């Protein structure tokens, strides 16, 4: 980066404050300087760049087209800087820790263990988003995600929590004791799929089987999908972790198992974590070892 090509930081900060506040008086108050100082800094910036950043025609100033572009970049950049410095200094320690996990993992594995974490860290507030959607981890937003896969998420750090292969299961009330030797034998049955994923559809495609569309596919949150499978409403594909007790008890029949090594990973952004996240990550890793 050519640092010498950047305009003076004080001028950029003054212009960003004006764009954020909407007036030179409020920008001056935000930076604890006079409104005249804000105006002078903006003029200096315009002179340095050689482009008009404000349209001064009419009774009220407004950003020019060039000013709009610069303001968008500066507010994003200064915003990221502020969020990161607050994380590093612990100033956002009171912000709830935001966790994303699939509904199945949240209901079956995480929620039963959370009372222990709450007892150890009652001062940490939590927000849990039980969704299969892959949300972006960013400063000031989502702190940690628990994702299923092989641990390969570019630009992020991942730690294996629970190794669990994918299995295909169904209630004996649905499939009975009939021989199911290949995936094609499942075409006559209705299928269940976790909402927000393509696991069942992809599994059919991987095994060269075209789904019988006349039987339909029902999309449900992970925990509801497992309950629907227990009730015999369809064949389900899910992590073995969630249905192991049902398989052992005979409530669900294990039909197929994917032996590829996949599991649930703890995924975070690289860098220094804020204190609540450090506590949660350490606790979660210990729970995974016990499991």
Q: Look over the chain and give the mean of its residue pLDDT values, rounded to a whole number.
A: 85
- Model pLDDT for residues 131-181, shown as the tens digit of each residue: 777 787 777 778 889 888 888 888 888 888 888 888 899 998 888 777 888
Q: How far apart are CA 211 and CA 198, in angstroms?
A: 13
Q: How far apart are CA 164 and CA 172, in angstroms?
A: 23
- Model pLDDT for residues 238-273, shown as the tens digit of each residue: 888 888 889 999 899 999 888 777 788 999 888 777
Rounded to 10 deg, the angle between the 240-249 and 222-230 helix axes is: 20
Tell me what pLDDT residue 42 has: 92
Facing residues of 55 across strands? 62
Tell me what pLDDT residue 69 has: 93
Residue 122 has pLDDT above 80, yes or no: yes
Q: Is the distance from CB of 159 to CB of 169 less than 8 angstroms?
A: no
Helix/strand/coil for 260: coil
Q: How far apart are CA 216 and CA 231, in angstroms?
A: 17
Q: How far apart are CA 168 and CA 189, in angstroms?
A: 13
Residue 208 has pLDDT above 80, yes or no: no
Q: Is the distance from CB of 278 to CB of 124 less than 8 angstroms?
A: no
Residue 213 has pLDDT above 70, yes or no: no
Query: Residue 237 — pLDDT band, cuts 50, 70, 90?
Result: confident
Task: State the pTM of this model.
Answer: 0.60
Collect all residues with Cβ–Cβ distance below 8 Å to 153 and sequence separation of at least 6. 147, 265, 267
Tell me what pLDDT residue 230 has: 92
- Model pLDDT for residues 23-67, shown as the tens digit of each residue: 888 988 989 999 899 999 999 999 999 999 998 887 788 899 999
Across 106-132, average pLDDT: 88
């Amino acid at each position: 980066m050519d640092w010498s090509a950047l305009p003076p930081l004080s001028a950029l900060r003054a212009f960003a404050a004006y764009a954020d506040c909407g007036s030179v008086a409020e920008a001056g108050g935000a930076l604890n300087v006079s409104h005249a100082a804000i105006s002078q800094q903006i003029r200096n910036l315009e002179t340095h760049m050689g482009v008009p950043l404000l349209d001064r025609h009419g009774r009220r100033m407004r950003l020019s087209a060039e000013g709009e572009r610069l303001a968008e970049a500066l507010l994003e950049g200064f915003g990221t800087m502020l969020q990161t410095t607050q994380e590093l200094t612990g100033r956002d320690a009171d912000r709830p820790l935001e966790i994303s996990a699939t509904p199945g993992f949240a209901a079956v594995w995480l929620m039963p263990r959370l009372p222990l974490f709450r007892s150890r860290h009652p001062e940490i507030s939590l927000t849990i988003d039980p969704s299969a959607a892959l949300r972006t981890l960013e400063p000031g937003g989502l702190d940690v995600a628990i994702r299923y896969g092989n641990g390969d998420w570019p630009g992020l750090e991942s730690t294996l929590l629970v190794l669990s292969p994918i299995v295909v299961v169904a209630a004996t009330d649905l499939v009975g004791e009939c021989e199911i030797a290949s995936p094609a034998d499942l075409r006559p049955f209705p299928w269940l799929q976790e909402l927000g994923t393509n696991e069942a559809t992809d599994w059919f495609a991987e095994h060269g089987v075209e789904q019988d569309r006349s039987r339909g596919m029902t999309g449900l949150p992970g925990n509801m999908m497992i309950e629907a499978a227990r009730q015999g409403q369809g064949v389900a594909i899910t992590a073995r972790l969630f249905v192991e007790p049902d398989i052992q008890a005979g409530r669900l029949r294990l039909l197929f198992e994917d032996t590829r090594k996949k599991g649930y990973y703890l995924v975070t952004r690289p860098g220094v974590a804020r204190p609540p996240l450090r506590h949660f990550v350490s606790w979660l890793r210990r729970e995974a070892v016990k499991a």
